[in-house]
Amino acid sequence: MPSIPAAAMTSVTVQGPLWSAQVQLVELAQPQSHWAFRTLFLNQRQRRGLGVDAIHLPGTLLLLGSVSQVSVDLGGGGSFQWQRSVSPTPPFTPERLRQFLNSGDLSLLLVQAEPGQWPETFPQEATPSFFPDRLTCLTGEIPLPWPQAPQSDAQISQLYRGLSLEIPSQGVDGLQQRPGASRLLSPLSVHSGGLSIYGQVQLPWQTQPLAAVFQLTQRLPSGDIPQLRLTLEPDRILPRRSRRLHRRLGRPRSGPESRLLLTRRAMVPDWVTLAIVDPSVLPQLAWEIPPWGQPPQLYLPPQEITLLLRRSGPGNQATPATSLAQVVPDTVQGSPHCRGHSS
């Protein structure tokens, strides 16, 4: 195979759910000069491509490169773009490659190529096209640049505000020191599942915001306008923070503000307690975003929340806190601007 021109490797388009990225592949010098991509699986059917009449074209590949641009399109005017002007420079020794990967300056991506989209001719300087127009990300992560003052960044503020999230005021500096899967190269990243976002959310039954890593995905089928869903990423939560979340989310929510009636009548509840059914398991919180620009709606699946109706509160010495009913709603829905309702 003739040499691939450098122009064919400087802007390779990789796409994922809700995003696309421009990747510049690394040129390695050892054991001899070559571009840092590897074919893992070939297409079974032979076809014309890259100047050969009958060839098994690559189907699944590994790419190693630096990302110069990431575009995120959430529909309805929710468009964002991140640029990175500085790229890692040679020599790309094994030690330096590990450093670049650990810092997020380089990304290792597993991608899928559509067999019918490979160029028929081999790339030339005048027509520098080697890969298909778009490669689909199967696994791997691209961290996005995080500004020094995120609260003053208009793009960051618009993204968090549209998701009803609060920009984290602390804890960002320690994300890269986290162990295992909980380690984050940036509070914002894109991957094969969509976006990962470190932020804070206000739950209807909590007084303090909940800090966690959230995943923004696209519901399918969603039509012309993406239907979005925001969920917690349990694997990204530190074990000690996960236990703290269990305690906070599993703590019953009850009190005078939860009273159903102002006047007491026999066998009529005037105290309600909201609690997680299984406090030892992180509830499957999900926020549905119909179109971008509308407030997210919080949903909990069945069997996650229980409502305990009582004659009086736990601190009432005159009237025993006799339980009158226990209700497990089919669905629970709420928003940052309301106390929530169930059905």
Residue 195 has pLDDT above 90, yes or no: yes
Please give the single-letter amino acid code of residue 206. Q
Residue 74 has pLDDT above 70, yes or no: yes
pLDDT for 338:
42
How many beta carbons lie within 10 A of that of residue 95, not counting itself?
9
Residue 15 has pLDDT above 90, yes or no: yes
**Mean pLDDT of all residues belonging to the chain:** 79
pLDDT for 260:
39
| Cβ atoms of residues 115 and 44 within 8 Å | no
The stretch 43-58 carries a mean pLDDT of 76
As a whole number of angstroms, the distance between CA 66 and CA 283 comes to 37
Residue 264 has pLDDT above 70, yes or no: no
Residue 41 has pLDDT above 50, yes or no: yes
> Where does the pLDDT of residue 189 fall: very low under 50, low under 70, confident under 90, or very high at 90 and above?
very high
pLDDT for 217:
92
Residue 242 has pLDDT above 70, yes or no: no
Residue 13 has pLDDT above 90, yes or no: yes
Residue 342 has pLDDT above 50, yes or no: no
237 to 180, 209, 210, 252: CA distances (angstroms): 10, 16, 12, 22
| Cβ atoms of residues 259 and 314 within 8 Å | no
The stretch 67-73 carries a mean pLDDT of 95
As a whole number of angstroms, the distance between CA 121 and CA 53 comes to 10
The stretch 212-221 carries a mean pLDDT of 87
Q: Which residues is 55 bridged to in the sheet?
A: 47
Residue 208 has pLDDT above 60, yes or no: yes
pLDDT for 299:
82
pLDDT for 155:
92
Q: What secondary structure letter does DSSP report for 226?
A: P
As a whole number of angstroms, the distance between CA 310 and CA 305 comes to 16
The stretch 59-67 carries a mean pLDDT of 93
